[in-house]
Amino acid sequence: MSKDSNLSAPQQHLHSVDDEKLDYIESQPPSDTDDMVDEPTYKASNRNSVDGGINGNGAPSVASLCHGRFAAYHNNKVNLHHLLAFLICTGLFIPAVVIHKEGNVLVLSLLYAAIVWWLVVQHLPQGTLSGPVGAVWNGGAKALGSLPLWLQRAIGFGIPPVALILTAALRPNDSHGTRGQRLISCLGLVVLLSLTVLFSKNRKAISWKIVWTGTFMQYILGLLIIRWSVGYDVFQFIAQQAENFLSYAAQGREFIFGPNSVDVEGKTYEFSSSFAVSVLPAIILFAAVIQCLYFYNIVQSVVAGMAKLVIHIIDISGVECVAACAAPFVGMSEASMLVGPFISEMTEAELHQVLTSGFATISGSVFLGLLTFGADATALLTCCMMSVPCAIVISKIRFPEEGVPLTKGTAVSPAYKDRESNAIHAVSNGAIFGIKLCIVIIAVLLAVISLLGLANGFLGWIFHFYGVDISIQKIASWVLYPLAWLIGIPSSDLMPCAEAMGIKFILNEFAAFASFTKIQDTLQPRSKLLTTYAMASFANIGSIGTQISLFLTLAPDRADAIARLSFSACLSGAVSTLISACIAGIVS
C-alpha cells in the first residue's frame, strides 16, 4: 500500500502541491475530536517518531539516546530547559507580587499564567486538551444542528443585531456618548453593510454565516477590549509600553544626531519635533526587533496560533487566516509575503481577502510613527485587532468565494525563508530593512504632500476669480461629512473630523494624523476616539501602488487579477475601518 493511500481526499490534494508549498501546509488530524489539536505539536510528534527524536510523551526515543559525558542532560534537555524557565519565571514573579510598590500586577500575572500554561501544554499527552475542547465544540455544533432550520437561523442571525441594538439603547448617556449617538452608529453599521452588499460581485454567493459570525466576533472583541476593564487595562499597558519604546529609539537617535534639544538664550528647541528625527529611528528599531522575533520563531507562532483560532470560528481558508492575523503586527507587505508561496494558487476571492486585510490595518512600525504625532495608542491598537474579522466580512461580501480554495479548512504555517545565522544577523537585516522602509516613507510623503500643495495652489488660483476659498481638504470633508455622521461623531465636531478622514483616504495616515492631532484636544472624547478608528488603516491611493508592486514581484502570473482587485480591496479596507468605528461607537 502506498504512503498516501491512507490519506483523505483533501490531504491527497495537498500532497500534490509542489515541494516548496508543501513545507508550509499542515494537515488537520484525521479524527473529528482532534479538530483543534495544537498542530505544531502534532507535526513535531509525527516527525520525531520517524527521525528518532522525542517521542509523544516528551521523552527521548531509543534511537536518540546519548551516552557518555552529560548524557543525562542531553537525554532530558528539553525537560530541563522548561523546568529552568519555570523556576526563573516563578522566582521573578513571586517577589514582584509580594514586594510590589507600583506597576501593573494584573498584566504581570496574566503574562506569568500564559508562560506557565505554555510550559504545561508542552508536556501533556496529545489530545489531553484538544479532546475535551473538541468534544464540547462538536457537541454544541451537533446540538445546534439538531434544532429546526428556522430556529437555527433565528438564533444565528438574530443574536448579533439584537445584541448591538440593546447595547446601544439600554446604556445611559455618559461622557463617551448618548443613546442617540450610539443608535446612529448602529444605523451607520447597517448602511455600510448594505452598501457593500449592493456592490457585491455576486450577492447570491455571499455566505451570511461568515458575515454574521465575523460581525458578532468584532462586537465581542469590542466588548472585551473597550468595555471589560481587564481587557482595556491589558491593551492600555501594551500601548504604554509602545510609547516607552519610542524613548529607547531616542537613545540611538541622540547618539547619532546629538542632543534631542538645545538651549539658546534661555529657550529650548526640540530637534525631535522633526519627522525624520523623531519617527524614522523608531521605525528602524521596530524593524530590527521584529526581524529578531522572526529569527526566534515568535512572530510565526503567534500568527499561526491566532490563525488556528480564527479558522475554527470563521469558515475561510488557511492563507486568508494567516494574512488577516499577521497584518496588524507586521503590516500589509509582510503579511502578504508570509503567504507568498500560495499566491499563484489562490482564488480571486482569496487574493481580494489578503489585499483587504492589508489595507484594513496599520503595521507596528507605522503605529510607532503615529504615536510621535500624539495619536491615541490604545485606540490604534484596539482598532487594528477589531479590524481583523471586519476585513474578512467586508471582503467576503464584496467578493464572495465561488471556487474551492487549496487551503480550505487547513492550517497554514507562515513562510519565512530568510533564515539568519544568529540573532545579531537578524537584527542587522531588520535594521537594513528599516532603512529601506524609511526611504520609501520619506519619498511617498514628500511626493503626496507636495502634490497636495500643488493641487491646492491650482484650485486656489482657479476659484480666486470667483472669490471662493477651496482646497482638497475642504472637498474631502464635504464628501465624507455624511460618513462621519453615520459612524456616530457628534455634530459639533463633524467638519474637522471629516477633513482629517479625507486627508487619510486621499493621501496617507501620516499626513492625516499630523493634521488631526493638532486639533484633537479641542474635540469631544467620542469624536477623537471614532476618528482615530476611522483613520487607522493603510486604505489610501498610495498604498494601492505599493501592494500591486509587491504582489507582482511575488506572483507575476497573477498580474491581471491583482491589478483588477486592488482598488476594490482598498475600498473594502476603508469600509472595514469605518465599521470598526461604528462598533466602537456602539460599545464605548
**235-292 per-position pLDDT tens digit:** 888 777 777 777 777 777 777 766 666 666 666 656 555 666 767 777 788 888 888 8
Q: What is the number of other CB atoms lying within 10 angstroms of the CB of residue 56?
A: 16
Query: Could you tell me which residue, 271 or 148, shows the higher pLDDT?
Result: 148
Predicted confidence (pLDDT) at residue 82 exceeds the cutoff of 60: yes
Q: Give how far the C-alpha of residue 128 lies from the chain's centroid of Cα atoms, to the nearest Å.
A: 30
Question: How is residue 108 written as a grid cell?
Answer: 504581570
In the chain, what's the furthest Cα-to-Cα distance? 93
Q: Looking at 224-317, list the stretches that DSSP marks H as alpha helix, in order from N- to C-terminal side.
A: 229-257, 275-278, 280-295, 298-313
HEC readout, 447-480: HHHHHHHHHHHHHHHHHHCCCCCCCHHHHHHHHH
Predicted confidence (pLDDT) at residue 421 exceeds the cutoff of 70: yes
Measured between alpha carbons, how far is 417 from 397 in angstroms, rounded to an integer?
33
Residue 343: per-residue pLDDT = 80
Residue 33: per-residue pLDDT = 39
Model pLDDT for residues 350-378, shown as the tens digit of each residue: 889 888 988 888 877 778 778 877 888 88
Rg (CA), the chain: 26
Residue 128: per-residue pLDDT = 77
Residues in a beta bridge with 269: 262
Residue 265: per-residue pLDDT = 67
Residue 93: per-residue pLDDT = 85
Residue among 297, 351, 357, 349 nearest 327 (CA)? 357
Residue 316: per-residue pLDDT = 83
Query: Could you tell me which residue, 87 or 107, shows the higher pLDDT?
Result: 87
Measured between alpha carbons, how far is 286 from 282 in angstroms, rounded to an integer?
6
Q: Note if the pTM is more than 0.85.
A: no
φ/ψ of 425, rounded to 5, equals -60, -40
In whole numbers, what is the pLDDT of the chain averaged over residues?
77
pLDDT tier, 395 (very low <50, low <70, confident <90, very high otherwise): very high
- Could you tell me the CA-to-CA distances from 253 to 270, 276, 433, 436, 441 in Å, in that order? 13, 10, 17, 17, 18
